[in-house]
C-alpha cells in the first residue's frame, strides 16, 4: 500500500491530467450557456467605439471605511471557543439575588471554620464561516475581439487593464460579493446556511453559553431609542442586568457618555484589557451618512442651545457660533476616520459612516490597546491544497480573501469567485447598538447599496442584453 493514500489518482483524474498536459484536449467541466449580458469586447460591444477607454462606474462603492477599520485576518480555524471567568465571590452567593446577602467570611474567632468560595464561568463558541460566491456568467472565448479597428483598450480607473470579457465579469462578480458582505455585516444570521452572524445578532442580550445556559456577563448593551436627538417616551437601556427606562428628553449625547462610562467600567473589570492603553479610534460610533451628519447637529445643539432642548436643531445651528462649532466637529486630530467626532467630557470618539447600517447606530469597541475585541476573519484561500487538482484552475487572490476558479464547456467559459468571511466578536460585551435613531438631514443622500430603496435601480429591472 502506498505510504500516502491521499495522492492516489482516479482513472478520470489521470486522463484529465494527460489530456491537459500532453494531448492539449479540451475537457468539459459542466454544461454552460453564454449569458445574454453584453460584453465590453465583441462584434457588438457594450460601449461605443468613440467612447473613451475608462470605466467610470457609478455602481461600485470603492473603499469601505468600516470594513477597513474593523480589520480582516486570514485563518484556517473553524471553531473558536473562548473561556471567561465571569464572577467570583463567597460560596453563600450561589443562588442568591445580587446585593441581597451579607458576607460570610468575616471570622469572629480564630478557631471558627472558614467558608468556601465560588466562581462562575461561561464558554462562548462560534463556528463556521459565511459563504459568498458569484459567477460573472458564461462567455464565449471567441468574443474577445474588437468591434472595430479604432476601439480603444479598456481600463479601470486605477489603471489596471480589462484584458478580456472574462476578466471584466470576474471584477463585477467580486464587487457583488463585497456588496453582500456589507449587507451581511449588519443582517447576517449564522443559523442560516451560508451566513455569518452580523452586528444585529452579535450586539444583543440574552446571550447563552455553549451549553445553553444564560450568561448575562457576555450581554451587549441594546438601547431602544425610537427618537431623534432627544429620547421620547418608551426609550430604554437593556443589558445583562435587565431594563432601565430612560427619561423623556434625555440627549443622545448624554447617552454616549453613559455608554462610554459603562464600557470603560466593563473594560476595567478584565485585567488583560485594563492593562492596555486607550488609543484614539479604539472605539467609534458607526451609522449611515445621514445619521452621522444629524449626530453632529445634535451635538452642536447639545452644546450651544439654551432653554428648550427640543427645538428644531436645523434652525438652531444656523447661528454663526453654532456653525463654527459644527465645523470644528469635522476637523482636527480627533477626526480619526474623516467623518467627524464627538467629545464626551474630554474623551474624543470618532464617527464612522456606512450607509448600509440603516436606522441604527453602533457604539463599537474594535480593540483595547493591542487586544482585538471585534474584527473580521476570512478563510485563507492561499492555504487550500489546489496543487493536486489536475489543471490547477483554482487561484487565490487579495491575500487569500478570494478563490477564483474557471468552469469550461468546450470554448464556453465561466469565471467563479468565492469568499468565506465572518465576524469575530471576542468582546461582544463591549459593544452597543442604538435601535431606530429617527433623525435625518432634510435631504437624504444616495448610497451605493443595491439593497437600499434609494439605490439607482430602474424598475422593472432589466439586464443589459444584446
pLDDT recorded at residue 313:
60
CB 334 within 8 Å of CB 324: no
Quote the cell numbers at residue 250.
434625555
CB 62 within 8 Å of CB 368: no
Cα three-residue angle 369-88-116, rounded to 5 degrees: 150
pTM of the model: 0.85
pLDDT recorded at residue 21:
53
What is the C-alpha to C-alpha distance for residues 318 and 333, in angstroms, rounded to an integer?
A: 25
pLDDT recorded at residue 3:
43
pLDDT recorded at residue 462:
62
Phi-psi region of 193 (alpha: psi -120 to 50; beta: other; left: phi over 0): beta
Cα three-residue angle 8-13-19, rounded to 5 degrees: 135
Any idea of the CA torsion for 422, 129, 267, 364, to the nearest 10 degrees? 20
DSSP-derived secondary structure letter, 367:
E
pLDDT recorded at residue 240:
93
**pLDDT tens sequence for the chain (466 residues):** 444 444 455 555 555 555 555 544 445 567 888 887 877 777 777 776 666 666 656 566 777 899 999 999 999 999 999 888 888 888 888 877 777 778 888 888 999 888 888 888 888 888 889 999 999 889 999 988 877 777 777 777 677 788 888 888 888 888 899 999 999 999 999 999 999 999 999 999 999 988 888 999 999 999 999 999 999 999 999 999 999 999 998 999 999 999 999 999 998 888 878 777 778 889 999 999 999 988 988 888 877 776 555 555 655 666 777 778 777 888 877 888 889 999 888 889 999 999 899 999 999 999 988 889 999 999 999 999 887 776 667 889 889 999 999 888 888 999 999 999 999 999 999 999 999 999 877 777 777 778 877 777 776 656 665 4
CB 416 within 8 Å of CB 135: yes
Other beta carbons within 10 Å of 344? 19
**Nearest alpha-carbon partner for 317 in 296, 334, 300, 293:** 300
Quote the cell numbers at residue 196.
455569518
**Nearest alpha-carbon partner for 344 in 263, 234, 240:** 263
Sign of CA dihedral 418, 72, 296, 264: positive
Distances 255 to 92, 175, 464 between C-alpha atoms, Å: 36, 37, 48
* Burial (Cβ within 10 Å: 0-12, 13-18, ≥19) of residue 120: middle
Amino acid at each position: 500500500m502506498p505510504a500516502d493514500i491521499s495522492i492516489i489518482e482516479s482513472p478520470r483524474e489521470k486522463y484529465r491530467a494527460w489530456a491537459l498536459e500532453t494531448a492539449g484536449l479540451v475537457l468539459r467541466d459542466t454544461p454552460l450557456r453564454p449569458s445574454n449580458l453584453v460584453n465590453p469586447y465583441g462584434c457588438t460591444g457594450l460601449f461605443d467605439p468613440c467612447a473613451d477607454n475608462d470605466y467610470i462606474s457609478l455602481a461600485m462603492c470603492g473603499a469601505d471605511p468600516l470594513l477597513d477599520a474593523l480589520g480582516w485576518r486570514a485563518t484556517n480555524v473553524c471553531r473558536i471557543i473562548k473561556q471567561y471567568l465571569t464572577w467570583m465571590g463567597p460560596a453563600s452567593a450561589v443562588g442568591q439575588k445580587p446585593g441581597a446577602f451579607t458576607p460570610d467570611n468575616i471570622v469572629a474567632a480564630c478557631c471558627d471554620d472558614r467558608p468556601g468560595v465560588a466562581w462562575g464561568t461561561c464558554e462562548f463558541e462560534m463556528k463556521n464561516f459565511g459563504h459568498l460566491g458569484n459567477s460573472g456568467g458564461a462567455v464565449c472565448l471567441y468574443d474577445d475581439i474588437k468591434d472595430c479597428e479604432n476601439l480603444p483598450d479598456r481600463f479601470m480607473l486605477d489603471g489596471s487593464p480589462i484584458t478580456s470579457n472574462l476578466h471584466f465579469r470576474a471584477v463585477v462578480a467580486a464587487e457583488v460579493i463585497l456588496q453582500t458582505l456589507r449587507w451581511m455585516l449588519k443582517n447576517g444570521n449564522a443559523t442560516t446556511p451560508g451566513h455569518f452572524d452580523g452586528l444585529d445578532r452579535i450586539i444583543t442580550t440574552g446571550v447563552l453559553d455553549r451549553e445553553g445556559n444564560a450568561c448575562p456577563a457576555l450581554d451587549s448593551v441594546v438601547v431602544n431609542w425610537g427618537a431623534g436627538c432627544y429620547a421620547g417616551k418608551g426609550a430604554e437601556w437593556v443589558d445583562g442586568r435587565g431594563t432601565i427606562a430612560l427619561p423623556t428628553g434625555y440627549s443622545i449625547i448624554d447617552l454616549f457618555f453613559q455608554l462610554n462610562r459603562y464600557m470603560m467600567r466593563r473594560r476595567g473589570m478584565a485585567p488583560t484589557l485594563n492593562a492596555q492603553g486607550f488609543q484614539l479610534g479604539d472605539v467609534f460610533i458607526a451609522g449611515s451618512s445621514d445619521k452621522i451628519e444629524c449626530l453632529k447637529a445634535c451635538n452642536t445643539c447639545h452644546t450651544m442651545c439654551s432653554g428648550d432642548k427640543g427645538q428644531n436643531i436645523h434652525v438652531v445651528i444656523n447661528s454663526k457660533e453654532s456653525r463654527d462649532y459644527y465645523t470644528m466637529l469635522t476637523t482636527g486630530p480627533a477626526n480619526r476616520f474623516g467623518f467627524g467626532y464627538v467629545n464626551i467630557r474630554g474623551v474624543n470618539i470618532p464617527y464612522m459612516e456606512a450607509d448600509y447600517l440603516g436606522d441604527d447606530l453602533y457604539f463599537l469597541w474594535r480593540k483595547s490597546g493591542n487586544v482585538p475585541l471585534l474584527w473580521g476573519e476570512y478563510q485563507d484561500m492561499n492555504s487550500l491544497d489546489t496543487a493536486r487538482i489536475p489543471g490547477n484552475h483554482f487561484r487565490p487572490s487579495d491575500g487569500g480573501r478570494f478563490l477564483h476558479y474557471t468552469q469550461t464547456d468546450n470554448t464556453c467559459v465561466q469565471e467563479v469567485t468565492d469568499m468565506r468571511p465572518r465576524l469575530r466578536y471576542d468582546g461582544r460585551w463591549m459593544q452597543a447598538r442604538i435601535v431606530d435613531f429617527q433623525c435625518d438631514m432634510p435631504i437624504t443622500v444616495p448610497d451605493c447599496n443595491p439593497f437600499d430603496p434609494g439605490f439607482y435601480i430602474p424598475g422593472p429591472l432589466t439586464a443589459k442584453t444584446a
